[in-house]
């Protein structure tokens, strides 16, 4: 999957990257959680969220709250839908199932990667995984979601 912008970025890739960046910039919770789009492809997105004391769920351990991980996975899924070649104008989460596999290591950035693996006329289906800086320990969480599609061209 291409990173955000390089000298070899095609116009279509650049448009997808701009759409994903605008998507998270428009959402106040993404700004509050310091989310950053790090890669975008055709129906794929990767977004990072740095550790912060403000999003810790248990002050004794320093582990990030599951709600912050949920927001990251949901946002990454939406960005993957918006970057799909069918280019919906907007999307909303219909259903999102998240399985929390383990606690993210305190003080680690969490990275989520989502793939839009199937698109119908009105619904997109997404799979996502989130990892901390120790991917060899396995995912922090995995998700499957369904997102609505809003199109202006009548597809």
Q: CA-to-CA distance for 38 and 114, rounded, in angstroms?
A: 12
What's the whole-number mean pLDDT along residues 3-9? 57
d(CA 21, CA 2): 14
Residue-wise pLDDT for 61-70, tens only, equals: 999 999 999 9
Please give the structure tokens belonging to residue 4: 């955000």
Give 129 or 89, the one with higher predicted confidence: 129
pLDDT for 90-113, tens place per residue? 899 999 999 999 999 999 999 999
Burial of 57 (0-12, 13-18, 19+ CB in 10 A): middle
Domain annotation for the chain: domains and CATH numbers: 11-150 (3.10.129.10)
Stated as kind and residue range, the H or E segment containing 14 is helix 11-25
Q: What was the pLDDT predicted at 45?
A: 94
Give the pLDDT band of residue 34 (cuts 50, 70, 90): very high
């Amino acid at each position: 999957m291409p990173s955000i912008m390089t000298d070899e970025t095609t116009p279509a890739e650049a448009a997808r990257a701009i759409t994903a960046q605008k998507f998270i910039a428009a959402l106040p919770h993404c700004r509050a959680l310091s989310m950053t789009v790090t890669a975008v492809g055709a129906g794929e997105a990767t977004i990072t969220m740095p550790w912060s004391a403000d999003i810790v769920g248990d002050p004794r351990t320093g582990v990030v709250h599951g709600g912050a991980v949920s927001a990251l996975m949901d946002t990454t899924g939406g960005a993957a839908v918006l970057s799909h070649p069918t280019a919906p104008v907007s999307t909303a989460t219909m259903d999102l199932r998240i399985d929390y596999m383990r606690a993210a290591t305190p003080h680690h950035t969490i990275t989520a990667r989502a793939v839009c693996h199937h698109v119908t006329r009105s619904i997109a289906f997404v799979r996502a995984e989130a990892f901390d800086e120790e991917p060899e320990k396995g995912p922090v969480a995995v998700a499957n979601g369904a997102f609505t599609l809003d199109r202006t061209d009548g597809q």
